[in-house]
Structure 1
């Protein structure tokens, strides 16, 4: 995890070679596959677009008839029908546009929903190791900022391409039908327009990638600086001003990137607008030259210039969609990067059931090293914990005790060796099945910002109030909760900071006990409790441990004296094993720790 340096304003993060390569690998085919399951709706949208575009082409021809026939001949009946036809065309195309917008927006939002839930689901499957390596703000930014930035492209791109392309083709055909010579004059601008658009798209793609990385850094600053722990740290360290400077600098860089993104290629596109606007003048000039004078009727000329003006919008729309799609590839690259992450701790292809769990836990020559480190955190550990018995693991800080607990809960998989429950390797069990068998109360208490009741039900959503109260009593926290004005409906605050450390830990203990796991891991579970409360909770644990396999990890040996067996870890290895009396008699490392 990236260290927090609140006192130093960071500059813009450089783009790594891996990120550039990832962005290049994003294919339009993969983006297109996001829409595969919506083929039916998209087909309807395309049909509506085609119908609307073809129908709208009738208006210039109706206009020509008004100018060339109805008005000069003063044919009121024909004029009324032509005007009604023009109104009808506008009404029908508008109604079709509403339906098209509804369908296309729905498809886009469904694709966005699939992307959001897909990324969130895939990240939920990642191991603890991924989250220790990745900044929390970075993860949040990809789910919110990156996917949010793709919304316009995902929602409008397909329909914009179909609409603008159909309109452009229909307009070009109608223009050719009126005058093919003038059509050539109008279309001569296309080659330079396409060339300039490609240049602009490349510029915006790079700026978009930089902007999203800066947004991620801004999210990290918010996460680090405005959490309860972050605010407490900045106030006690007097780092508030430096933190504000860091946030301000990042925000200023975003201003520059947003301006560059909006202005990238604007002068190029502005020159195209000028050229398109000048074409009608060239057409009028062409129609008035001596060699072409009288070749076109006034109605045809007006209808043609009307079509030509209508051609500008879909052509620029198509070019704009190309720019937006190309620049959005940077966003798709960041999302696909997360979707392509391998799952380090995954469910087995053919999981084995554990119908009648006894809770016999065995570690066989287990070795584990954290990624990027050479030394093993746990090395060659072999332990046998019969069902219903208790094992205490002790040792100095950094000896591998918590790592061992994480391996038993399968937060990581061993580098070598295996861990079994009732003879079944943990890697052969579904993660949800394992979670129902192994309960963990760790030294790092995490409570959700909601009520006590909902925090407890996080472990068992269908738990009754009686079950909640029973678990709370067992954890020696019910009396305190009952004395609160709102009782179990009391909101615990961000990360539970409304309560003391010991109270938070007892709520967490109650939450785990509510699941009634066959194997209970207490990883420094009473470290935040005072001596009197620790004794009360320990008495509850003694009662609850009857018939349950219990692994207790502790610094204070007072909590492990009565364990059936005690293992002493040193640099990841078991150097002593036995019960309390035997280890004291041996006068080894355990006796030294106990003295």
Structure 2
């Protein structure tokens, strides 16, 4: 669906109208990683609450200055309010430091555990996994998806909590001061609820595309700029093709970044316009109430200050489900690797290897290919055996070769390798 003018930048495919859902099983799994750091998370929650409550104080100070202190010339109270205007941001900054400190501890700790578990799990995977998986994709899971999961823990979730607490506390204060102006302030919300939701869906789609494009870029860099990749590229004179391919991927990364910046800027521009409309309505209605003696000038100023604390969280929470699910995408991609079964595992009750004397024995060892490669080998061997059988059946006394395909590359191989010797199976 495409709109005109600036809406062309926020067009999106609405063919899939299914809303993103939050999987409870995924949430429980993420919470298991967060459980060891629950004390730090509770400290973060407390710091967020105190910071949000402190933000309610400055507008009340403005109202007291305009309505009481300045008209009455109360110098002592003026000094106290001035100290309060200095103390509020100072305390908010200190609580912010506490929030960042313990938030970083929890987030980094969770990612530390997740990263180590992922490395240990991939280290036990068979060689077939590494031969069938692009090395750049594995690196991308570590660099992009694990970092994305970290941002969800240290950024997205705390932001959601901050917006909820700020919104609820601001509405309570506004309703307690002047409920009519509070309802008027909320009345303009439909002007940007729909655009905010639409922009949120577009940004979610852009973020997914950006993750895919960055994964492709990491994959190509890893495949071409390593020793083996560079050797193959130069041996087969693939440099021009790889340069062209890299430029195409790099252009996609550039374009998606530009589009994301444009959409975000247009959204903030629309949010500013709605805030201006809300402020104009508050000043207009409040001015009429002041002229009628039903309201003070300080109350109008306080309401105008509270509007910025009201519209910002509401716009952010409009797409809270989209943002939360998008943040969990990184966890899903990491869990995809953690859920891959380990093909080669020790038998239950396997004995630990003790002292060895350097002797190796192959006892009835067999090996065969799996999957499509087995079919190709089987067909190839069958054709070769049939040709051999036809060639030997000429009366010269040669025994015809069996027509049945040999399915084992190795079968019933038994021999000893003495210490100090080198043996190769070809």
TM superposition score category, shorter chain reference: 0.7 to 0.9
Residues 4-28 of structure 1: CA deviation (Å, up to 9, x unaligned): xxxxxxxxxxxxxxxx9x9996844
Look up the match of 1:544. Answer: 420
Answer whether contact 1:23 1:333 (CA < 8 A) is retained.
no
Answer whether contact 2:289 2:295 (CA < 8 A) is retained.
no
The more displaced of 67-76 and 210-219 is: 210-219
Answer whether contact 2:203 2:263 (CA < 8 A) is retained.
yes
Question: 1:268 deviation in Å?
Answer: 4.8
Structure with the higher strand share, 1 or 2? 1
Question: 1:128 deviation in Å?
Answer: 0.8
Question: 1:133 deviation in Å?
Answer: 0.7
Look up the match of 1:253. Answer: 252
Q: For the structure 1 residues 178 and 122, does the alpha-carbon distance in structure 2 shift closer, same or farther, using more than 3 Å as the test?
A: same
CA distance in 1, matches of 2:161, 2:412: 65
Question: 1:156 deviation in Å?
Answer: 1.3
SS at match of 1:246: helix
Answer whether contact 1:209 1:331 (CA < 8 A) is retained.
no
Question: 1:207 deviation in Å?
Answer: 2.7
- Report how many aligned residue pairs link the two structures: 376
Look up the match of 2:369. Answer: 369
Look up the match of 1:284. Answer: 283
Look up the match of 2:102. Answer: 103
Answer whether contact 2:125 2:342 (CA < 8 A) is retained.
yes
CA distance in 2, matches of 1:171, 1:156: 22
Answer whether contact 1:65 1:299 (CA < 8 A) is retained.
yes
Structure with the higher helix share, 1 or 2? 2
Question: 1:43 deviation in Å?
Answer: 0.6
Look up the match of 1:337. Answer: 336
CA distance in 2, matches of 1:203, 1:270: 16
Question: 1:163 deviation in Å?
Answer: 1.9
SS at match of 1:381: strand
CA distance in 2, matches of 1:88, 1:62: 12
The answer to whether residue 4 in structure 2 is matched with residue 133 in structure 1 is no
SS at match of 1:378: coil
Question: 1:59 deviation in Å?
Answer: 2.4
Answer whether contact 1:225 1:234 (CA < 8 A) is retained.
yes
SS at match of 1:353: coil
CA distance in 1, matches of 2:48, 2:22: 32
Look up the match of 2:326. Answer: 327
The more displaced of 39-48 and 292-301 is: 292-301
Look up the match of 2:87. Answer: 88
How is 1:37-436 mapped onto 2 (pairs within 5 angstroms)? Answer: 37-190=36-189, 193-264=192-263, 267-268=266-267, 270-289=269-288, 293-319=292-318, 324-355=323-354, 361=361, 363-364=363-364, 366=366, 368-372=368-372, 373-374=374-375, 375=378, 378=408, 381-385=411-415, 389-390=416-417
Question: 1:74 deviation in Å?
Answer: 0.7
Answer whether contact 1:146 1:335 (CA < 8 A) is retained.
yes
Look up the match of 1:553. Answer: 424
Q: Could you say what the CA RMSD is over the residues aligned between the two structures, in angstroms?
A: 3.1
Question: 1:251 deviation in Å?
Answer: 0.7
Answer whether contact 1:153 1:328 (CA < 8 A) is retained.
yes
Q: For the structure 1 residues 543 and 351, does the alpha-carbon distance in structure 2 shift closer, same or farther, using more than 3 Å as the test?
A: closer
Question: 1:127 deviation in Å?
Answer: 0.9
Question: 1:266 deviation in Å?
Answer: 5.2
Question: 1:190 deviation in Å?
Answer: 4.0
Answer whether contact 1:23 1:329 (CA < 8 A) is retained.
no
Answer whether contact 1:49 1:163 (CA < 8 A) is retained.
yes
CA distance in 1, matches of 2:204, 2:354: 54
Gaps of 5+ in 1: 1-19, 391-541, 556-595
Question: 1:291 deviation in Å?
Answer: 9.9
Q: For the structure 1 residues 67 and 34, does the alpha-carbon distance in structure 2 shift closer, same or farther, using more than 3 Å as the test?
A: same
